[in-house]
């Protein structure tokens, strides 16, 4: 496994119209332009194989935007970002799930969209069911799932992508006690294989079990990088 | 080798998106084909009553003539509705992972093409009702089928962007397309329209599509070159103008749908 993340001067800009709706650059030219804000600005860091990195910061500090940029959900408007390796992501409580589809159908869709061949992903679906521990619920529409069940399905589907880089945004906090242990075991195995985990959240004890290193974000800027405990202390002692 | 793997991967993504879309939009189960037929059947019934009693235009096999407009238009309008909501309905996926979003409009067309194929039963049914026997002209059907699908694809790219830019105007988009239906030779064949209106209706590419279906299924003759080339050229123009815009905009979708 040869996972790595390299960010150099990364910035993500949000444009608004006069009614404060987010617009694309093309639409901004057509509508009367409102303010603009940078969700991330001048972010530079490196993450190497086997590193677990916690994103620490207050709500609105840019943690989710950074995770989405790492997942290629957002494209940087400035700077350079390189992520080597297959990405598995769990970036919202909805975990990329479509509520009218069953757990099985959602897992298949997530896998194929992430680049796993259709036949390969079909063959892995029973493993997703097993890892999600959803039992027969796996065959039911996700609309009948609790948030915790959705998070389990999202995590199991992401895991079956055989990711080199796993991105987790607060949703792992929706897991129950029993499933947290499963997540921690999977994350430890991934790190041991030379993978990368980047996790954001406010459950610092859980982040401590997943990550050794921390990045402190504030108003879209990287304020500090270092051992997780020092970063948490710096954040709490602001 | 790498190229064929990428092509295979894109095909897999397209299949997965389309199968999921069919389930999300049309449910599941054996009777979903019936659901697919209800909408065009209702439209055919309403237009037939309108033409028979209100417009009072005579003509041969009126029901079949209208079906030759309603069925292909169903693909265009259903693709439009699908396209305008295609990114928002996949919001959870768009916000959770990076994937090739350039295939979303193609998937919208494929989803509605599956329904369109079922809707063709309506033409077969009206042919039986009016005792219109199929002729060898039916061999032209694959060509006009492709023209209809390409025409729908031409609308899919701009309407997907429109649905993201102006989600509150989606109903307006549908109404605008319905207007396009009524200013085409939809309810009555082009041959029944005289004077300036005849030429004005011909400007609308939908007229050519409807006429090509009438040629093949009702009149038993080959569609004219204009029937085929004009809608294709119109679709090519839309694709040339809006596919690059879509390609650029899809990079920003996650910001807008959040």
For residue range A45-104, what is the model confidence (pLDDT) as tens digits?
A: 999 999 999 999 999 999 999 999 999 999 999 999 999 999 999 988 777 899 999 999
Disruptive mutation site among A96, A115, A158, A170 for chain B (greatest number of B CBs within 10 Å): A96
pLDDT given for residue B41 in this prediction:
77
pLDDT given for residue B57 in this prediction:
56
Rounded Cα gap, residues B233 and A116, in angstroms: 37
* Residue B254, min C-alpha distance to chain A (Å): 6
Q: Which residues of B touch A100 (CB under 8 A)?
A: 23-24
Disruptive mutation site among A74, A81, A113 for chain B (greatest number of B CBs within 10 Å): A113
pLDDT given for residue B59 in this prediction:
61
Rounded Cα gap, residues A41 and B36, in angstroms: 49
CB within 8 Å of chain A, chain B residues 41-60: none
Burial environment of residue B174 by CB neighbours within 10 A (0 to 12, 13 to 18, 19 or more) = middle
pLDDT given for residue A237 in this prediction:
81
The answer, for A101 touching chain B at a CB cutoff of 8 Å, is yes
Mean pLDDT on A105-131? 94
pLDDT given for residue A238 in this prediction:
66
pLDDT given for residue B6 in this prediction:
85
CB within 8 Å of chain B, chain A residues 26-55: 26-27
Asked if residue A236 has pLDDT above 80, the reply is yes
**Order of strands across the sheet that contains A165-169:** A87-90, A165-169, A196-200, A52-56, A213-218, A221-227
Question: Which residues of chain B register pLDDT less than 70?
Answer: 1-2, 5, 52-59
Whole-prediction pTM value?
Answer: 0.89
Q: Are A175 and A181 in contact (CB under 8 A)?
A: no
pLDDT given for residue A229 in this prediction:
92
Least confident of A149-163, A182-196, B41-55, B107-121: B41-55
User: Which among B9, B16, B249 is the nearest to A109, CB-wise?
Assistant: B16
pLDDT given for residue B58 in this prediction:
55
Rounded Cα gap, residues B163 and B33, in angstroms: 27
At which residue do the structure tokens 């209208």 appear? B66
Task: Give the residue with greater pLDDT, A33 vs B190.
Answer: B190
Least confident of A19-23, A99-103, A172-176, B30-34: B30-34
pLDDT given for residue B61 in this prediction:
84
pLDDT one-digit tens code per residue, B157-172: 999 999 999 999 999 9
What is the rounded radius of gyration, in angstroms, for the C-alpha atoms of chain B? 19
- Asked if A24's CB is within 8 angstroms of B255's CB, the reply is yes
Q: Which residues of B touch A109 (CB under 8 A)?
A: 16-17, 20, 93
- Asked if B92's CB is within 8 angstroms of A95's CB, the reply is yes
Disruptive mutation site among A62, A90, A95, A98 for chain B (greatest number of B CBs within 10 Å): A98
pLDDT given for residue B45 in this prediction:
74
List the alpha helices (DSSP H) in A2-117: 25-30, 63-70, 103-113
pLDDT given for residue B30 in this prediction:
73
């Amino acid at each position: 496994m040869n996972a790595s993340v390299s960010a150099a001067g990364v910035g993500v800009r949000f444009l608004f119209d006069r009614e404060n709706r987010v617009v694309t650059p093309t639409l901004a030219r057509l509508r009367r332009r409102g303010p603009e804000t940078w969700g991330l600005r001048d972010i530079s860091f490196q993450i190497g194989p086997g590193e677990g990195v916690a994103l620490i910061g207050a709500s609105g500090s840019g943690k989710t935007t950074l995770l989405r940029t790492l997942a290629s959900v957002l494209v940087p408007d400035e700077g350079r970002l390189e992520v080597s390796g297959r990405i598995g992501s769990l970036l919202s409580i909805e975990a990329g799930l479509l509520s009218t589809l069953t757990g099985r159908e959602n897992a298949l869709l997530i896998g194929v969209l992430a680049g796993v061949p259709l036949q390969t992903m079909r063959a892995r679906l029973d493993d997703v069911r097993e890892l999600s521990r959803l039992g027969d619920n796996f065959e039911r529409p996700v609309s009948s799932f609790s948030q915790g069940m959705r998070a389990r399905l999202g995590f199991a589907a992401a895991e079956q992508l055989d990711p080199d880089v796993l991105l987790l945004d607060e949703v792992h906090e929706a897991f129950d006690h029993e499933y947290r242990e499963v997540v921690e075991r999977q994350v430890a195995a991934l790190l041991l294989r030379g993978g990368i985990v980047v996790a954001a959240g406010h459950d610092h004890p859980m982040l401590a079990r997943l990550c050794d290193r921390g990045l402190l974000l504030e108003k879209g800027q990287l304020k500090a990088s270092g051992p997780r405990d020092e970063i948490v202390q710096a954040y709490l002692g602001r | 080798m790498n190229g064929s793997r990428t092509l295979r991967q894109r095909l897999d993504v397209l299949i997965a998106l389309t199968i999921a879309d069919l389930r999300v939009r049309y449910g599941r189960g054996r009777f979903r084909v019936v659901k697919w037929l209800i909408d065009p059947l209702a439209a055919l019934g309403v237009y037939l009553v309108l033409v028979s009693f209100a417009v009072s235009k005579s003509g041969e096999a009126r029901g079949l003539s209208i079906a030759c407009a309603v069925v292909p238009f169903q693909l265009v309008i259903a693709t439009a509705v699908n396209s305008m909501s295609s990114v928002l309905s996949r919001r959870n996926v768009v916000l959770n992972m990076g994937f090739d979003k350039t295939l979303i409009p193609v998937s919208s067309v494929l989803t509605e093409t599956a329904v369109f194929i079922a809707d063709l039963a309506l033409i077969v049914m009206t042919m039986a009702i009016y005792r219109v026997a199929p002729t060898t002209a039916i061999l032209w059907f694959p060509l006009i089928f492709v023209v209809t699908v390409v025409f729908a694809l031409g609308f899919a790219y701009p309407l997907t962007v429109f649905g993201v830019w102006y989600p509150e105007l989606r109903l307006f988009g549908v109404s605008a397309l319905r207007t396009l239906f009524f200013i085409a030779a939809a309810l009555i064949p082009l041959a029944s329209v005289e004077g300036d209106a005849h030429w004005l209706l011909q400007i609308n590419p939908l007229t050519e599509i409807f006429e090509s279906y009438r040629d093949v299924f009702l009149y038993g003759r080959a569609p004219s070159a204009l029937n085929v080339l004009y809608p294709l050229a119109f679709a090519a123009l839309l694709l040339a103008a809006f596919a690059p815009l879509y390609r650029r905009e899809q990079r920003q979708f996650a910001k807008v749908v959040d």
